Amino acid sequence: MDWPQYNYAIGSFAFGIVLGFVAPKLRSAIHNRVLVHLNQPIKMVIVVRNNLGMGKGKIASQCAHAAVQCYKTALRMDNRTLKIWLASGQPKVVVKVDTEEELLSISALSSKIGLINCLIRDAGKTQLEPSTTTVLGIGPGKKQDIDSVTGHLKLL
């Protein structure tokens, strides 16, 4: 084998290796971006109990717990939707309810239609009694499905 053939073989081999590593990631990124535009938008909604008198910091903390728990659940149960949600900027909306019963009813309805949802209960170390249900996270999921459960609620 002379030098031009040797160089061609090495170059082809290196190109194949690079292509083998880059192509799947590129294909996945393109696929996710295409799905964002072709499919329904994906979002997360966080429902806050407004009747507890929580301070702004407490509400922010409880909402963060809900978002993280929903993310962890989606990582296990619906990785494809999670990737689309991440690629689309992780849209989130925070709404309010007036009672625990309303919060639990929305949780049950979202479970019934197959949406990821996570109820958050406070540890009771500061403002609330232990195990007080404070927040419900729903999603990430199709906007149309989540809106069918939470579309009537007012923004916090």
Q: Which has the higher per-residue pLDDT, 51 or 9?
A: 51
Residues 24 and 48 in one domain: no
Residues 46 and 12 in one domain: no
Nearest residue to 45 (alpha-carbon basis) of 117, 101, 112 = 117
Residues 146 and 88 in one domain: yes
Residues 49 and 31 in one domain: no
Residues 46 and 117 in one domain: yes
pLDDT, position 33: 58
Residues 60 and 77 in one domain: yes
Residues 82 and 60 in one domain: yes
pLDDT, position 32: 58
Residues 79 and 123 in one domain: yes
Residues 25 and 47 in one domain: no
Residues 30 and 56 in one domain: no
By residue range, what is the domain housing residue 19?
Answer: 1-38
Q: State how many domains the chain has.
A: 2
pLDDT, position 63: 98
Q: Is pTM beyond 0.95 here?
A: no
Kindly state the percentage of the chain with pLDDT values over 90.
67
Residues 55 and 92 in one domain: yes
pLDDT, position 40: 73
- 98-111 tens-digit pLDDT: 999 999 999 999 99
Residues 31 and 99 in one domain: no
Instruction: Assess whether pLDDT exceeds 80 at residue 16.
Output: no
Distance of alpha carbon 105 from alpha carbon 16, whole angstroms: 55
Q: What is the CATH number of the domain that holds 116?
A: 3.40.1490.10
